[in-house]
Amino acid sequence: MRILINMPSQFGGHQSGVARVAFSLLARLLEQTPHHYILRSPWTQSQLPESLRNIRLDVMETPRPRFVFLDVLWQAVMMPLLCRRLGIDTVLNMDPFGSPTGGSRRLAIVHDLYFKTIPHQIGRRAALTSDFIFRLMIGGSNKLICVSEATRNDLCRFYPSAKAKSLTIHSDSTLSAIAVDLAEAPLVEGPYVLAVGNATPNKNFATLARAFAEIAPTQPALRIVHVGKDEAEVMLNVLPEALRGKVIRMSDISDQQIATLYRHAACLCIPSIYEGFCLPVLEAQEFGCPVLCADISATPEIAGDGALRFNPTDIGSLASALHRLFDEAGLADDLTQKGYKNRKKFSWGKAATAYAALLHQE
């Protein structure tokens, strides 16, 4: 079979969550199937991970569109012609901003529905255009693959017509303990709570900062390490001036550095009000980092028993969870061991086997 991996909406050379998932999945598909794959994206051959330098993978570089909405419409017209020219059997859209046409079968991966669950995060116009694109893709896809059951439930709630053609295939961590030096010295001295991700509204980092302020008197050495951007200074704006120096921000760091941060953190805290999957949960569990996470959306599903849960709308609930982590003997070690066990439930090999079965369906 000849399969088009379609990912035009991502930035070339930028390791976004979608790109990491796409490359991890594609590497396993190349191992497990005899098919020939064509990657259509803004990524060049030289920018791809070493694992994708394969004779059965062709790279078709395409510029990232300025207007994704118009590009989806263009793809709907152009893709059947392209697929006929290349002899494509199946189109696998790595996110819904791909093509609803082309090939004999079309699959699309749904990572989240931010534009429906928290539309203020992207704005009314973007939410309306995303809604139109989703309807187009739902109508044109043979299967819609959701990365979590929580995301599938959201998809079917907002688009009932998707129920019959949707299913869940869990993703997996895109960091591996095998690929990093676990003996690396700590990047930050002393205890710290780790927060990962840009400070978008769904991440709810202001609640973390407020809970941190509540426990600070009993944990004077504790700090927050934030990996990501916070242009609006969401956390600093809600902290008393005396505590603002306890927030350390890092961005554009290497896999080795983020793995080291996980390895030495007191915990990873996920106060999100919405997540489609939440890769940092599995990354933390991979490296023995205790996880505290919100008890809503996809995080409980992904974290399993390997996390201490709290109500993300209640500052006291998060503060209480942090107090427990530091005060209860053995709790951190218990969360770490349960995290190791939970992390083993997720596998790119298992995911690739499920995707391969869909590629073979008539």
Which residue bears the tokens 């394969």?
A: 54
Which has the closest alpha carbon to 267: 214, 186, 325, 345?
325
| Helix 315-327 vs helix 331-343: crossing angle, to nearest 10 | 100
Bridge partners (DSSP) of residue 285 are none
Arch. (CATH architecture) of 2-172+347-360: 3-Layer(aba) Sandwich (3.40)
The answer to whether the CB of 264 falls within 8 A of the CB of 184 is no
Domain chopping of the chain, boundaries:
2-172+347-360, 177-343
Arch. (CATH architecture) of 177-343: 3-Layer(aba) Sandwich (3.40)
Both tokens of 95, joined, read: 């996110």
Q: What angle do CA 93, 45, 181 make, to 5 degrees?
A: 95
For residue 25, report the phi and psi dihedrals to the nearest 5 degrees: -65, -45
Per-residue model confidence (pLDDT) at position 362: 57
Per-residue model confidence (pLDDT) at position 160: 98
Reading the chain (362 residues) residue by residue, the pLDDT tens digits are 999 999 999 999 988 889 999 999 999 999 999 999 999 999 999 999 888 987 889 999 999 999 999 999 999 999 999 999 999 999 999 999 999 999 999 999 999 999 999 988 888 899 999 999 999 999 999 999 999 999 999 999 999 999 999 999 999 998 865 556 666 788 999 999 999 999 999 999 999 999 999 999 999 999 999 999 999 999 999 999 999 999 999 988 988 899 999 999 999 999 999 999 999 999 999 999 999 999 999 999 999 999 999 999 999 999 999 999 999 999 999 999 999 999 999 999 999 999 999 988 75
For residue 144, report the phi and psi dihedrals to the nearest 5 degrees: -115, 115
For residue 135, report the phi and psi dihedrals to the nearest 5 degrees: -60, -40
The residues, ordered by sequence, that sit 6+ positions from 242 with a Cβ below 8 Å of its Cβ are none
The answer to whether the CB of 69 falls within 8 A of the CB of 132 is yes
Rounded CA separation 119/126 (Å): 8
Which region, left, alpha or beta, applies to residue 106 given φ > 0 means left and ψ of -120 to 50 means alpha?
Answer: beta
Which has the closest alpha carbon to 57: 28, 81, 80?
28
CA 215 centroid distance within chain: 29
For residue 14, report the phi and psi dihedrals to the nearest 5 degrees: -105, 120
Rounded CA separation 148/276 (Å): 7
Per-residue model confidence (pLDDT) at position 181: 64
With H, G, I as helix, E, B as strand and everything else as coil, classify residue 293. strand
Rounded CA separation 5/19 (Å): 11
The answer to whether the CB of 355 falls within 8 A of the CB of 145 is yes
Per-residue model confidence (pLDDT) at position 55: 83
The answer to whether the CB of 146 falls within 8 A of the CB of 168 is yes
Per-residue model confidence (pLDDT) at position 208: 98
Gyration radius from the chain CA atoms: 21
Domains 2-172+347-360 and 177-343 share a fold: yes
The answer to whether the CB of 130 falls within 8 A of the CB of 312 is no
Per-residue model confidence (pLDDT) at position 361: 73
Which has the closest alpha carbon to 248: 319, 205, 192, 186?
192
